[in-house]
Every structure is written in C-alpha cells, then in structure tokens.
Amino acid sequence: DTEVTQTPKHLVMGMTNKKSLKCEQHMGHRAMYWYKQKAKKPPELMFVYSYEKLSINESVPSRFSPECPNSSLLNLHLHALQPEDSALYLCASSQEGRGTNEQFFGPGTRLTVL
C-alpha cells in the first residue's frame, strides 16, 4: 500500500460540534503531518509527528488537537471551530522527519464549519 488515506472526504460541522479527521498510511513512514489549505492558497503546516511524538506545532489554536495513536495513524480532533477554519485539511507522511524526504500527501478532507 503506497497511499495515504484520509477520512472523511467531506465534513460539515457546527461550531459546537466535536469531530475527528483520520489519516492512515502503511508505508512504514515514521513522520506524519497535518496541513491546512485554504482556497487558492498553498498548504500551511499545522503539526508534525516524528516517531509518534509531536515535534512541531505551528502555533495552531487549541481547538485543533492532534493525536498519533501509532505509527500508521494520525488523527485531528476538532472542537468549537470557527467558520474561518473551513478549509481542505491535508495529511502527509514521509520516511522520516528530515527535509530531504519526499512527503506523500493524502487526498484531503474538505471541512465546512457553519
């Protein structure tokens, strides 16, 4: 399996809801990433997990809470989001967290916050 999968593909939620985004890879990669991409903008890094430990949190609001249950799974828990959080959320993985490693991207979850 050489793909990064993400579920759900689409998610609509209210500002008081709690939801989770899921990401999975079975390539044996030890680094996993969450990016946020607004329309017509480039992806922006949110979190990096390296060997199941959070190594980078790019000053993301606490209403976004990442979790890495094991080396193949990455979750993003959402709570009390704002409409401006509506975006495409991309998951990626790489062999390790080094810059020279290619990052493999998932198809994304398109999130709409009402």
Partner 1 sequence: AQRVTQPEKLLSVFKGAPVELKCNYSYSGSPELFWYVQYSRQRLQLLLRHISRESIKGFTADLNKGETSFHLKKPFAQEEDSAMYYCALYGANNLFFGTGTRLTVIP
Nearest approach, Cβ of 85 to partner 1 (angstroms)? 19
Give me the phi and psi of 72, to 5 degrees please.
-100, -15
Nearest approach, Cβ of 45 to partner 1 (angstroms)? 5
Q: In 3D, which of 109, 110, 104 has the Cα closest to residue 25?
A: 104
Nearest approach, Cβ of 18 to partner 1 (angstroms)? 27
Neighbouring residues of 53: CB distance < 8 A, sequence distance ≥ 6: 68
Nearest approach, Cβ of 36 to partner 1 (angstroms)? 12
- For partner 1, the closer of residues 26 and 58 by Cβ is 58
- For partner 1, the closer of residues 28 and 42 by Cβ is 42
- Chain residues binding partner 1 by CB under 8 A are 4, 33, 41-45, 48, 55-56, 58, 90, 97, 99-100, 102-108
- For partner 1, the closer of residues 64 and 81 by Cβ is 64
Give the residues across from 36 on adjacent strands.
44, 89
For 2, other C-beta atoms within 10 Å of its C-beta total: 7
Q: In 3D, which of 8, 4, 10, 18 has the Cα closest to residue 86?
A: 10
